Amino acid sequence: MAARLIDDALPLLEAVSHYGGVNAAADVLGRNASGISRQLQRLSADLGTPLLRRRGRQVELTDAAQALVREAPHLHAAEERARSALFDAADPQVGQVRIAAHVFAVSAIAVPALAAWQEQHPQSTWLLREAEPANAQRLLVSREADLVVMPAGPHTPPTDHPRFTVRRLVVEPVDLIISQNHPLAAEHGDIDLVEVSDERWILGSPGQGSRQEILEHCAKAGFTPSEGHHAQDWTAVSSLVAAGLGVSFMPRMAPTHSGVVRVPLSGPSAPVRTVLMVMRRGSEGWSLLAETMEALVSRAAEEVRRPL
């Protein structure tokens, strides 16, 4: 019963608690509500205590269920430690590591690291998928990913999260990008962000993450950017900048259009982006996962040091 509790029914109970009901959990998980109810009823029978009760039209967790949900992260972490020990006891150099990475990290970090890693681990495999930060926790909980590479942001679990371990991969410089015909393109060396405070900026549309990042970086430098065109995709941003229609920011590892010049920024307002690795708490002891993280860290360090 213990394995079933941790692997199947317990995550469903956590989802019902988190989303506020069986139907809401079913909608988010893409599961059948009656199927979730049946699994939780079987779990109640195994435990010998009710887990759900009706209050009017709503279904709510009993005190016993709430206590179980509170202890769930510790059970999950213990399971991960046990899995890691079993994997290493069988063969620390054989296994499969599933990685989910934000789009920039796939080509700049994960693919080059994977090529080198597989030469040293011919009996092991990486499974790589592109993923948005908003899906990171779901992918880890569902075991569709063992490791997520993502920029720090609103979807980052806190460092003391009981279910996830968060480690820094790299601190990445964020460059100013300008057209190759821009007056600053002929200069060499870093500039202070305030030097381009009068420029028109390519910003994301209201509500988009990149827009907020640019506004925050410029506010730190003491100005509000003048809005020009709006774009979110890096290719579109680069194209607009290359056409001389404004300036913008670009993380060091993101590719740019051929007509774009990167200008490194210096000073206290120089923007950076922190890239993180997130995994299920307890799994960090797995040797193959630890070697994967080392390979990613090494590749990321090389990428941010490359000349512009």
pLDDT tens profile 172-215: 999 999 999 999 998 878 899 999 999 999 998 887 777 888 99
Over residues 268-301, the pLDDT tens digits come to 889 999 999 999 999 999 999 999 999 999 999 9
Measured CA to CA, the distance from residue 40 to residue 15 in angstroms comes to 11
Asked, colleague to colleague, whether 93-170+275-305 and 171-273 share their fold, the answer is: yes
| Top CATH class, 2-76 | mainly alpha
Q: Is the per-residue pLDDT at 4 higher than 60? A: no
Mean local confidence (pLDDT), 205-233: 89
Provide the pairing of β-strand 52-55 with 58-61.
antiparallel
Q: What is the mean pLDDT of the chain?
A: 89
Residue 157 is encoded by which pair of tokens? 């679990």
Mean local confidence (pLDDT), 217-235: 92
Measured CA to CA, the distance from residue 39 to residue 281 in angstroms comes to 25
Residue 15 is encoded by which pair of tokens? 């989802």
Beta strand spans in the chain (E)? 52-55, 58-61, 96-101, 125-130, 147-151, 164-179, 191-192, 200-203, 226-230, 248-251, 260-263, 265-266, 272-280
In the CATH hierarchy, which fold is given to the domain comprising 93-170+275-305? Answer: D-Maltodextrin-Binding Protein; domain 2 (3.40.190)
Name the band, by pLDDT with cuts 50, 70 and 90, for residue 109: very high
Q: Which of 254, 242, 234, 263 is nearest to 180 (CA)?
A: 242
Cα–Cα–Cα angle for 259, 262, 305, rounded to 5 degrees: 130
Q: How far is CA 218 from CA 47, 175, 222, 245, in A?
A: 56, 13, 6, 18
| List of residues 6+ apart from 102 with CB closer than 8 A | 130, 131, 132, 133, 149, 150, 151
Q: What is the CA radius of gyration of the chain?
A: 24
- The CATH number for 171-273, chosen from 3.40.190.10, 2.40.10.10, 3.40.50.620, 3.40.309.10, is 3.40.190.10
pLDDT of residue 2: 47
Measured CA to CA, the distance from residue 189 to residue 267 in angstroms comes to 12
Phi, psi of 169 (to 5 degrees): -90, -50
Instruction: Name the residue ranges covered by the structural domains of the chain.
Output: 2-76, 93-170+275-305, 171-273
Residue indicated by tokens 């150099």: 93
CA atoms within 13 A on the CB side of 265: 26
Q: Is the per-residue pLDDT at 143 higher than 70? A: yes
Provide the pairing of β-strand 164-179 with 191-192.
unpaired
3-state secondary structure 197-266: CCCEEEECCCCCHHHHHHHHHHHHHCCCCEEEEECCCHHHHHHHHHCCCCEEEEECCCCCCCCEEEECEE
Q: Which residues pair with 125 in a beta bridge?
A: 96
Q: How far is CA 262 from CA 83, 174, 179, 201, in A?
A: 45, 10, 9, 15
pLDDT of residue 1: 44
210 neighbors 217 (Cβ within 8 angstroms): no
pTM of the model: 0.81
How many percent of the chain have pLDDT more than 90? 53
Q: Which of 60, 51, 54 is nearest to 24 (CA)?
A: 60
pLDDT of residue 238: 93
